[in-house]
């Protein structure tokens, strides 16, 4: 199961991003590994007594598998829809069946509007225009439209003669070829995804500065999908990526079920450590992916958003997650407590942190709201004598919201001083608390340097402070999970109560995970680079 959700699934997501032909193979490998995991799980249950009564590992696992099957079903329905539209177009146009067109349109989902009724893959719409769209036929050319632009030498030449029409047609097509050549040169400059690869060809062919390398010129149209379609694609992509983290959650619950820990009075403590630590660990990996250049199309890679759409900022998402978790965790601290029981010191400590998550997340979302920002600027803007309004300061190009970092940093500092029964437990809590506080400090340094020089390019800026911050966050989250009371006591009983051992183990696992994230992001960027170059070279090969 681990190989399926943490290995095959991320590779499949990278392949899907470019509609690669091997995506279907990755899906098959994923379900093959899932089938192997289910087989061994069934054998284990039959050969082993129930080690954990009422364990939720099994039901949660089947829910995750049903979610994966639902996404595959949507994929299958989309495939059947494309196939139906493909054969319907063939029947309508009375054209011959082409296996090559079927593979491209139906299997790879890289179809033309004539086959699908609408472009199902509009990610690169407007970047490449086929030569047929640029060439002008003789039946479309009107001599009257170009009389003022064409100078005919000699009085004996009739403007409406066949020779004149041939010359003017040739002239018009030459003009369009030159325009296509200029556009092709510009497109070569954007062949790279700008994440990890920069080829010499792109640098030579670019007519723009590095700050505008990927900007679309005004003459290149950008198709905008309907809102419902864009929302559906966003939900599908988000759910597919969440499956990876749900797989990690299943690994944790599987370890709990197998070892038999987290029972009776330890349940609440285990939930707090595994859930919070798991969130910090997973978001540390996501933060490292952002540093590498992931989500740059949304402006989340410490860059300027390429498109002026209404995508939320990364800080808004962070604040929303903090807000939702704070609301839920506020009431979870009293699970299993009899009504009327006075609040203990530990409960007040934990509930106070949850309330901080709740309202600090709400403040963070409010700061990221474009509407609230516009309202807050009205008093100063009303004093401006400029008819068009005052110019926005450079800092408006970025998002400098310290509240997510503040929440995590305060949590780390507070838990570093958390009272424990044994000294080793205090040391472990202090370790991951300091790591989380280090993340907050480094994130604030990122904001400081970007405030001095806000991002002006759509390319990922990769601030080095974020590389360190992501490592501190992921490593701190892993130590957080290892600091549960039962694990600490078991380490002391076996003479393994060594802080350095816990730290080194966490650092090693974090480095391994970061290496895998780098491989996945690099694979996705390389596939995108090849796909973009193929699209750029295809028109010239046809011509």
pLDDT tens across 130-142, in order?
A: 333 333 344 333 3
Torsion of CA 269, 272, 278, 280, to 10 degrees: -130
What burial class does residue 140 get, using C-beta atoms within 10 Å of its C-beta: 0-12 exposed, 13-18 middle, 19+ buried?
A: exposed
Phi-psi region of 50 (alpha: psi -120 to 50; beta: other; left: phi over 0): beta
What pLDDT shows up at residue 219? 43
**What is the 8-class DSSP label of residue 344?**
P
Query: Tokens 């990769």 map to which residue?
Result: 462
The pLDDT score that the predictor gives to residue 225 is 66
Domain housing 61: 1-125+226-260
The SS3 of residue 189 is: helix
How far is residue 467's CA from residue 488's CA, in Å, rounded to a whole number?
Answer: 30
Q: How far apart are CA 489 and CA 357, in angstroms?
A: 29
171 in any annotated domain: no
Q: Is residue 130 assigned to a domain?
A: no
Structure tokens at 141: 């050319």
Helix (H) or strand (E) holding 180: helix 162-189
Q: Is residue 213 part of a domain?
A: no
Tell me the three state secondary structure of residue 357.
helix
Q: Are residues 537 and 450 in the same domain?
A: yes
* CB 372, CB 326: distance < 8 Å: no
* 231 plus 358 within the same structural domain: no
Report if residue 290 sits inside a domain: yes
Structure confidence by residue, pLDDT tens digits, 22-66: 888 999 999 999 999 999 999 988 998 887 888 888 899 999 999
Taking only the tens of pLDDT, the chain with its 543 residues reads 899 999 999 999 999 888 888 888 999 999 999 999 999 999 988 998 887 888 888 899 999 999 999 999 998 898 888 888 888 888 887 777 778 777 777 777 776 545 554 443 333 333 333 333 333 344 333 344 434 443 434 444 443 444 444 444 454 455 445 444 444 444 444 333 334 334 443 343 333 433 333 444 444 444 566 778 888 888 999 999 999 999 999 999 999 988 888 888 888 889 889 999 999 999 999 999 999 999 998 899 999 888 766 788 999 999 999 999 999 888 887 777 788 888 888 888 889 999 999 999 999 999 998 889 888 888 877 777 666 667 777 877 788 999 999 999 999 999 888 888 899 999 999 999 999 999 999 999 999 999 999 988 899 999 999 999 999 999 999 999 999 999 999 999 999 999 999 999 999 999 999 999 999 999 999 998 888 887 777 655 555
Q: 67 CB contacts (<8 Å, ≥6 apart)?
A: 239, 243, 246
Q: Is residue 296 part of a domain?
A: yes
The Cα 411–Cα 349 span in angstroms is 11
Last residue of a domain, one of 209, 234, 260: 260
Shared domain check, 74 and 9: yes
CA 493, distance to chain mean position in Å, is 43
Question: Is residue 247 located within the same domain as residue 375?
Answer: no
Same domain, 302 and 434: yes
pTM of the shown model: 0.76
* CA contacts within 13 A on the Cβ side of 87: 5
Using alpha carbons, select from 130, 48, 470, 515 the residue that is nearest to residue 286. Answer: 470
Residues 341 and 474 in one domain: yes
Same domain, 316 and 232: no
Q: Phi then psi for 121, rounded to 5 degrees?
A: -130, 85
Is residue 250 within 8 Å of residue 60, measured between CB atoms?
yes
Indicate the length of the chain as a whole number: 543
pLDDT at 133: 37
Q: Does the residue 160 lie in any domain? A: no
Residues 218, 255: Cα–Cα separation, whole Å: 56
What total of structural domains would you count in the chain?
A: 2
- For 188, 233, 401, the CA distances from 404, given in Å and listed in that order, are 39, 27, 7
Are residue 358 and residue 456 in the same domain, yes or no? yes
Burial 407-440 (b: 16+ CB within 10 A, else e): bbbbbbebbbeeeeeeebbbbbbbbbbbbbbbbb
Shared domain for 246 and 307, answered yes or no, is no
Question: Is 508 a member of any domain?
Answer: yes
Mean pLDDT for the chain overall: 79
* Amino acid 339: pLDDT: 83
Residues 297 and 243 in one domain: no
3-state secondary structure at position 483: coil
Q: Name the packing angle between helices 9-16 and 23-47 (round to 10°).
A: 160
- CB-CB contact of 248 with 282 (8 Å): yes
Residue 198 C-beta-side C-alpha neighbours within 13 Å: 10
Q: Do residue 364 and residue 475 come from a single domain?
A: yes
Domain match, 271 and 246 both? no
| Cα 313 to Cα 215, 391, 400, distances in angstroms | 20, 22, 10
The domain boundary residue, chosen from 241, 260, 279? 260
Cβ atoms within 10 Å, residue 231: 11
Residue 76 included in any domain: yes
């Amino acid at each position: 199961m681990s190989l399926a959700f943490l290995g095959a699934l991320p590779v499949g997501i990278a392949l899907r991003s470019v509609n690669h032909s091997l995506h279907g193979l990755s899906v098959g490998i994923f379900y093959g590994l899932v089938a192997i995991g289910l087989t061994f799980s069934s054998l284990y249950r039959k050969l082993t007594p129930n080690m954990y009564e009422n364990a939720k590992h099994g039901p949660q696992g089947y829910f995750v598998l049903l979610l994966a099957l639902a996404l595959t079903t949507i994929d299958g329905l989309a495939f059947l829809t494309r196939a139906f539209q493909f054969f319907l177009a063939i029947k309508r146009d009375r054209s011959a069946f082409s296996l090559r067109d079927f593979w491209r349109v139906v299997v790879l989902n890289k179809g033309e509007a004539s086959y699908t009724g609408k472009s199902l893959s509009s990610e690169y719409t407007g970047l490449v225009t086929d030569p047929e769209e640029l060439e002008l036929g003789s039946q479309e050319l009107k001599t009257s439209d170009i009389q003022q632009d064409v100078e005919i030498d000699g009085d004996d030449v009739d403007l409406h003669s066949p020779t004149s029409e041939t010359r003017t047609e040739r002239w018009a097509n030459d003009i369009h070829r030159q325009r296509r050549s200029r556009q092709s040169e510009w497109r070569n400059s954007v062949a790279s995804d700008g994440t990890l690869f920069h080829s010499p060809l792109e640098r030579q062919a670019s007519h723009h500065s590095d700050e505008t390398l990927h900007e679309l010129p005004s003459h290149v149209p950008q198709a905008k999908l309907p809102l419902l379609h864009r929302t559906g694609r966003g939900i599908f992509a988000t759910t597919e990526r969440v499956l990876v983290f749900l797989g990690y959650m299943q690994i944790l619950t599987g370890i709990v079920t197998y070892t038999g820990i987290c029972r009776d009075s330890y349940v609440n403590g285990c939930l707090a450590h595994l859930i919070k630590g798991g969130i910090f660990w997973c978001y540390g990996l996501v933060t490292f992916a952002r540093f590498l250049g992931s989500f740059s199309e949304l402006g989340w890679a410490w860059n300027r958003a390429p498109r002026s759409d209404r995508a939320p900022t990364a800080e808004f998402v962070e604040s929303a997650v903090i807000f939702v978790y704070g609301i839920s965790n506020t009431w979870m601290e009293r699970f299993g407590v009899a009504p009327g029981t006075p609040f203990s010191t530990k409960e007040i400590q934990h509930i106070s942190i949850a309330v901080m998550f709740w309202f600090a997340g709400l403040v963070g979302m409010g700061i990221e709201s474009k509407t609230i920002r516009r309202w807050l600027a009205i008093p100063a803007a009303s004093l401006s004598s400029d008819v068009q309004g005052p110019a926005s300061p450079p800092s408006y190009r970025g998002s400098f919201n310290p509240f997510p970092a503040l929440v995590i940093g305060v949590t780390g500092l507070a838990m570093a001083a958390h009272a424990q029964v044994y000294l080793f437990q205090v040391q472990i809590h202090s370790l991951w608390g300091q790591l989380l506080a280090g993340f907050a400090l480094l994130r604030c340094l990122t904001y400081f340097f970007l405030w001095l020089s806000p991002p002006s390019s759509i390319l990922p800026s990769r601030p080095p402070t974020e590389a360190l911050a992501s490592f501190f966050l992921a490593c701190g989250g892993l130590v957080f999970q290892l600091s549960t009371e039962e694990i600490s006591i078991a380490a002391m009983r076996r003479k393994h109560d060594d802080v350095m051992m816990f730290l080194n183990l966490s650092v090693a696992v974090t480095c391994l995970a970061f290496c895998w994230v780098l491989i996945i992001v690099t694979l996705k960027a390389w596939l995108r680079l090849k796909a973009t170059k193929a699209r750029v070279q295809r028109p010239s090969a046809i011509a």
